[in-house]
Structure 1
Amino acid sequence: MQSSPPALTDENRVIETRKQAEVVHAKMNEKLIPTFKGTLQEQKVNVNSTEIPITIYTPVDVNKTKLVIFFHGGGFTVCSRKTHQTIVNVLADATKTIWISVEYRRGPEHKFPIWWEDACEVTRHILENKESYGVESSAKVGLAGDSAGAALSASICHTLKNIDFQILVFGIFDMRRTTPSYKEFVHPMYFLTPEMLDWLTSSAFRDTNDLTDPRASVLLKPSFENLPPCLLIPAELDPLRDDSYAYQKVLDDAGVKTKMVLIKGVIHGYFSVPDLLSIKDMTPETRLIIINSIYFKIKEFSKNLTNKNTNFHEVNGKISKIALMHQREKFAYAENNDLHVQIVHIPYKSENKDVEFVFTMILPNRRVQLDVVEQKLASQPDLMQKLLSHQNTRTEELHLYLPKFKMETTFELSDILQQLEMKDTFSSYKAHFTGSEAAATAVIITYHGPSLPPPQSIEFKADHPFLFFIRESRQNIVLFSGKFISPPINS
């Protein structure tokens, strides 16, 4: 870290943030956990006279030759086994492998090194008692985690020598935060702001001396030899991104087998698995959209209001064909004459009254290059906040044209693990992890409404590149940001 952490955080903020994290994941868990094809078992592990809760996910037809211990992210302060329940649920089911999710204690109530000791000692206990967790005594054990959980996984691999592999999703490996990506992604649109990182740091650590403890900052370890094979999965638009690059380099230099899979176009916190829904989960009136393990319900466009062969004008002057859905309806709308852009805020339908999610689009005039708009917004954070809020918006009837798009980047985890010579670890399944050029999984915007009213509406025609954001509108928190620059194949 480049400066001293601020004073002890207000615990009310911690409580409220934890509550929000639980709320936004509750609906997803409620929907998917009952579909888990196996058993969930709650147990506790005694660590220094403290009972640490764990959840054991045992799928049907489980392979007893392997086991994965999972540590959730959340800056060692927020999130829990519950917020990450869906992720572990799906991974265990897909891999036919027992996954154990650990509820280590968190700051500010329990600062470093308590949460590190909890994670390490639970891992040690499981390693020494494999058979009691449903696998063979010779079973291979891997560690996995996202963000802070990835940091824990990496660190424990240095301490305990019987780990067979590690999966590190957008991890933080040097708490001093000195890599270039921390300066590159400071804008609130990238979610993990310097202020948020300072707050989490002050909540999780006692003082700045803790930040240079190699248990917390694994890049400060004196040696990286003889570590287990490592899969690193950073997010492209993440302040933590360069930590993964740096960690891969020191592992490579030490002769450790590594694989890097950069998920392009996504911000920190993105960790999702596609195809979680079967066709029976879809109804004629709604579609379920999964975005970072959150469901959103939105109305549908009428099928007869889709132009299937519309021109889309790309940045390079190329014209592609795309299906454009269109509808006349009232939306929150604004214009900015300095940027020459239109802004529309499309609400998601939600049964959860504690949060309000909005899909916001910023559409430049066709004569204005999207990268010019991006540069201006990046240099003027206040302007970005203004555009993303409902400030200066008015309710207008729009003739709204939107591309129906599903933007994904998919990789096969099983193939990657085989490249890391972990063929026996995951061999009989294909687990898909999806990212997207638009920083959201399976973004499908569809509406259903009455027949078209008389004209007089403002045209909002997204037939050329645009920016989009998924926000919690009450607090104007950006969950995802991205840009649509060209139609996907088979759009």
Structure 2
Amino acid sequence: MVEKEEWIYSSVEDLAPGIRRILRIQSWVPPLERLPIPISRVLMECASRMNSPRRNPRVKETLHIPFARLPLTMRHWEPRDWSGPRPVVFFMHGGGFVLGSSRSHRAFCELMADEARCSVFSIDYRRAPEHPYPTALEDAERLFQWLQEQREIWGWQNQPLVVAGDSAGGNLATILCRRLRDRGEPLPDAQLLIYPLTDFAQNTVSYQKYGQGFVLTRSLVDWFFLHYQAAGQYDHHDVSPLRCEDLRGLPPAFIALAGCDVLLDEGRNYARRLQEAGVAVQLRVFPNMIHAFVNLLVVPEARAAAMECIAFLQDLFQGDEGYSLSAAADRPFP
């Protein structure tokens, strides 16, 4: 294994040209944390639409409203030319528990559905500060249980199921898996964690190196944490999964990280902790990427990184004998 002191950190010069252009444009816009929350939410939605391709006509979309008395929705994408039981991805969007939605991540979800030949369900959990911790986690559990019940009704219960998420969504995804394990409930077949938030401590080298001038700044993270209102509980494993003492028995994980991202070190640390607990892990670090690259699909290198995440789903769903998470767990981390 590679020790922490030997990790190689990227710089702005290592970033893909398209990413550097996006960072220059971002520098002209007021920081999201200095704007009213409704405006910040609209700006994130607009940025996602601008930096993602047009909707995929080969994929159809359905909106589910599972609970009459709760403002919860779930967007569902599936290939138009495929009917019958299919693998399922249960996806939770990023945005620091404050921003983002199933709409902001539409392009990536469509890409997963089309390329991995699966059904993707992206949830709209309630966001902070209107609904602080632990509302988002509780909503994720409700919607996951609803989906499990629907899979039985649809006859999909024997198809693979992956829990996935990016950033704050990655935080919810892996905590959901651990809570299912603790209750002795059936676990997903795998976790797809994309630059997941795993520790609220903010005491890593990557926070020092990338805390300013990138998409996710230390100031923005502080703003997210303030609104999530988990003060005093940052070391609890339902907030910071890296702090969980026992990670044994969790589903196999594919963890994708960006080279210039404040969450880089904690993502690496979480991958290492999972591996030490005997969980099969594949860690992929993209040195030329920044946080939120799955929402920057107009950049060829970002789309290629997103496709590597989807390749994990393809191999898992197709049962490719040449791919093994168990074998991947024995490889040194990059």
**Structure 1-normalised TM-score?**
0.53
Deviation at 1:180, TM superposition (A): 1.9
Query: Which residue of 223, 243, 249 corresponds with 2:246?
Result: 223
Q: Which amino acid aligns with 2:217?
A: T
| Aligned ranges 1:455-470 → 2 under 5 Å | none
Contact 1:77–1:203, Cα closer than 8 Å, also in 2:
yes
2: CA distance, partners of 1:243 / 1:135: 38
Task: State whether structure 2 residue 218 is matched by structure 1 residue 194.
Answer: yes
- Picking from 296, 299, 324, the partner of 1:291 is 299
Q: CA deviation at 1:62?
A: 5.2
- The counterpart of 1:143, out of the listed 148, 163, 178, is 163
Cα deviation digits, residues 315-370 of structure 1 (max 9, x gap): xxxxxxxxxxxxxxxxxxxxxxxxxxxxxxxxxxxxxxxxxxxxxxxxxxxxxxxx
**Mapped pair 1:266 → 2:282:** no
- Identify the residue that residue 38 of structure 2 maps to in structure 1: 15
Structure 1 residue 243 corresponds to structure 2 residue 266: yes
Contact 1:259 / 1:416 at 8 angstroms: preserved in 2?
no
Counterpart in the other structure of 1:54: 74
Aligned residue among 29, 32, 51 for 2:54:
32
Which whole-Å CA distance do the structure 2 matches of 1:142 and 1:162 have between them? 9
Note closer, same or farther for the CA distance 1:257–1:154 as it changes in structure 2 (3 Å cut).
Answer: same
Which of 217, 237, 249 is the matching residue for 1:214? 237
Q: Distance in 1 between matches of 2:172 and 2:35?
A: 26
User: Aligned equivalents of 2:46 and 2:296: distance in 1?
Assistant: 20
Residues 252, 279 of structure 2: 8 Å contact kept: yes
Q: For 1:91 and 1:130, how far apart are their aligned partners in 2?
A: 19
Q: Distance in 1 between matches of 2:111 and 2:94?
A: 17
The structure-2 alpha-carbon separation of the partners of 1:28 and 1:414, relative to structure 1 and needing over 3 Å to count, comes to closer
Residue of structure 2 aligned with 1:163, choices 173, 181, 188: 188
Shift in Å at residue 27 of structure 1?
4.8
Q: How many angstroms apart in 1 are the aligned matches of 2:147 and 2:217?
A: 36
What secondary structure does 2:232 align onto?
A: helix
Distance (whole Å) between structure 2 residues aligned to residue 407 and residue 89 of structure 1: 15
Distance 2:294 2:311 in 1: 19
CA distance in 2, matches of 1:32, 1:163: 31
Tell me the CA shift for residue 38 of structure 1.
Answer: 3.4
Query: Which residue in 2 is equivalent to 1:469?
Result: none
Please state whether the residue corresponding to 2:294 is helix, strand or coil.
coil
1:204 aligned partner: 228
Cα distance in 2 for residues equivalent to 1:175 and 1:407: 26
Match of 1:64 in 2: 85
Aligned to 1:55, the other structure's residue is in SS state: strand
Matched, 1:76 2:97: yes
2: distance between equivalents of 1:218 and 1:41? 32
CA drift at 1:273: 7.9
In the alignment, residue 125 of structure 1 is paired with which amino acid?
Answer: W
The offset of 1:171, in angstroms, is: 0.8
Q: In the aligned structure 1, how far is the partner of 2:107 from the partner of 2:33?
A: 30
State how far apart, in whole Å, the 2-side matches of 1:44 and 1:11 are. Answer: 33
Shift in CA distance, 63/93, structure 1 to aligned 2, threshold 3 Å? farther
SS in 2 for 1:199: helix
The structure in which a higher percent of residues are strand is 1
Aligned positions, number: 283
Q: Does 1:45 align with 2:66?
A: yes
Q: Which residue of 1 aligns with 2:112?
A: 91
Match for 2:150 among 129, 132, 137?
Answer: 129
**Equivalence map 1:326-475=2 (5 Å):** 412-413=308-309, 416=312, 423-424=316-317
Q: Tell me, in whole angstroms, the C-alpha distance in 2 between the residues paired with 1:234 and 1:63.
A: 34
* Structure 1 pair 235–136 and aligned structure 2 pair: CA distance change class (3 A): same
1:10–1:181 distance in 2 versus 1, CA, 3 Å: closer
Question: Residues 273 and 96 of structure 1: is their aligned pair in 2 closer, same or farther, counting only changes over 3 Å?
Answer: farther
Shift of 1:179: 2.1
- 1:109: Cα distance to partner? 0.5
C-alpha distance in 1, partners of 2:302/2:141?
A: 38
Residue ranges of structure 2 left out of the alignment (5+ in a row): 1-31, 181-185, 321-334
How many angstroms does 1:267 deviate by? 1.4
| Residue matched to 1:182 | 207
The amino acid that maps onto 1:93 is: D
Q: Is the 8 A contact 2:88 2:159 kept in 1?
A: yes
Offset of residue 256 of structure 1: 0.5
Determine the C-alpha separation between the residues in 1 that align with 2:45 and 2:303. 26
Question: In structure 2, what is the equivalent of residue 110 of structure 1?
Answer: 131
Q: Calculate the aligned-residue CA RMSD, in Å.
A: 2.8
User: Counterpart amino acid of 1:138?
Assistant: N
Offset of 1:424 from its aligned partner? Answer: 3.6
TM-score normalised per structure 2: 0.77
Aligned to 2:22: none
Q: Pick closer, same or farther for the CA change 1:26–1:176 going to 2, 3 Å.
A: same
Shift of the alpha carbon at 1:10?
A: 8.7
Match of 1:323 in 2: none
3-state DSSP of counterpart to 1:234? strand
- SS of match in other structure, 2:219: helix
Shift in Å, 1:225:
0.8
Letter paired with 1:175: F
Q: Give the percent of matched residue pairs that are identical in Structure 1 and Structure 2.
A: 23
d(CA) in 1 for partners of 2:158, 2:84 = 12
Deviations 1:241-261 (A, max 9, x none): 011111111111111100011
Tell me how far apart the structure 1 counterparts of residues 39 and 311 of structure 2 sit (CA, whole Å). 40
In the other structure, the counterpart of 1:285 is none
Distance (whole Å) between structure 1 residues aligned to residue 304 and residue 106 of structure 2: 23
What is the deviation of 1:167?
Answer: 0.5
> What SS does the corresponding residue of 1:182 show, helix, strand or coil?
helix
